[in-house]
């Protein structure tokens, strides 16, 4: 009986989830919503960012993104440092992502296709620019506990955001401490 109950409960959860079959449609909806917000001239830049972030929050797994960006150093730092790093990094990440989207204000976007690569999914999208097309790929992993899919990395022009941060952080931490890095990111956030 309990098993059945659990099963049904699980099935019902999926009504709210980001499932494999829905990824393409839902992401496409999200991206179009984001572009509509960007195009809207009636809202301030700050409101725009907030609205976009609300949409992104549904599908981005920021926790795993901060872990992946910090790489091997993640395991060596304290819980407080982890939390502090995540906070500043996520802020940086969101800002940098929105900043890039602003490039394509008045252009179209095409959702190309969804590829399966081992246990990950990659959604290819193309921003159609005036002179060039800019590919942006969203990479999803399946969360083992609730079987939902989250974005863990974004490739812009074929280059992984997490990868570039990771290499840079790793290099930075060879000479400096995690607290320096947190301080550095904080300053960068203030400037942006």
Partner 1 sequence: MRKITILFLFLSFFYACNAQNFENSNKDDVAINQFDDISNEFQDSYEDDFDPLSGYNRVMTSFNDGFYVYVSRPVIKTYKDVVPSTARKGVSNFFTNLGFPIRFINNLLQLKFKNSWEELQLFVLNTTFGIAGLINVAEENNFNLRYHDEDFGQTLGYWGVGEGFHIVLPILGPSNLRDTFSLFVDEYASPLKPEDKSFYLTDSTDKSIGLKTFKTVNSTSYTYPVYDKLRKDAIDLYPYLKDFYNKRREEQIKE
Binding site for partner 1 (CB under 8 A): 1, 4-5, 8-9, 12-13, 15-17, 61, 63-64, 67-68, 71-72, 74, 96, 99-100, 102-103, 129-132, 134, 141, 143-146, 148, 150, 152, 157-172, 174, 184, 192
* CB of 3 or CB of 46, closer to partner 1: 3
Buried b (16+ CB within 10 A) or exposed e, 164-178: ebbeebeeebeeeeb
How far from the centroid of its chain's Cα atoms is residue 51's Cα?
15
CB of 123 to partner 1, least distance (A): 16
* CB of 45 or CB of 131, closer to partner 1: 131
- Provide the 10 A C-beta neighbour count for residue 109: 18
* CB of 25 or CB of 167, closer to partner 1: 167
Contact between 31 and 110 (Cβ < 8 Å): no
CB of 19 to partner 1, least distance (A): 12
Alpha carbon distance 7, 3 (integer Å): 6
* CB of 46 or CB of 131, closer to partner 1: 131
CB of 50 to partner 1, least distance (A): 19
CB of 42 to partner 1, least distance (A): 23
Where are any strands of DSSP class E within 66-175?
Answer: 108-117, 120-128, 133-142, 149-156, 159-160
CB of 28 to partner 1, least distance (A): 21
- Helix axis angle for 79-101 and 20-39, nearest 10°, is 60
How far from the centroid of its chain's Cα atoms is residue 192's Cα?
19
* CB of 42 or CB of 158, closer to partner 1: 158
């Amino acid at each position: 009986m309990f098993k059945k109950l659990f099963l049904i409960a699980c099935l019902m959860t999926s009504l709210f989830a980001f499932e494999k079959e829905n990824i393409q449609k839902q992401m496409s909806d999200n991206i179009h919503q984001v572009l509509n917000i960007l195009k809207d001239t009636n809202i301030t830049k700050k409101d725009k960012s907030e609205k976009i972030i609300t949409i992104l929050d549904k599908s981005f797994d920021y926790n795993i993104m901060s872990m992946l960006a910090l790489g091997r150093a993640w395991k060596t730092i304290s819980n407080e440092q982890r939390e502090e790093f995540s906070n500043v990094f996520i802020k940086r990440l969101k800002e940098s992502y929105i900043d890039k989207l602003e490039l394509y204000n008045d252009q179209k976007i095409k959702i190309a296709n969804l590829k399966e690569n081992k246990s990950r999914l990659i959604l290819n999208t193309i921003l159609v620019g005036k002179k060039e097309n800019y590919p942006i790929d969203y990479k999803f992993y399946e969360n083992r506990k609730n079987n939902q899919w989250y974005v863990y990395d974004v490739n812009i022009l074929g280059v992984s955001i997490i990868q570039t941060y990771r290499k840079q952080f790793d290099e930075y931490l060879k000479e400096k401490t995690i607290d320096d890095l947190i301080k550095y990111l904080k300053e960068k956030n203030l400037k942006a």
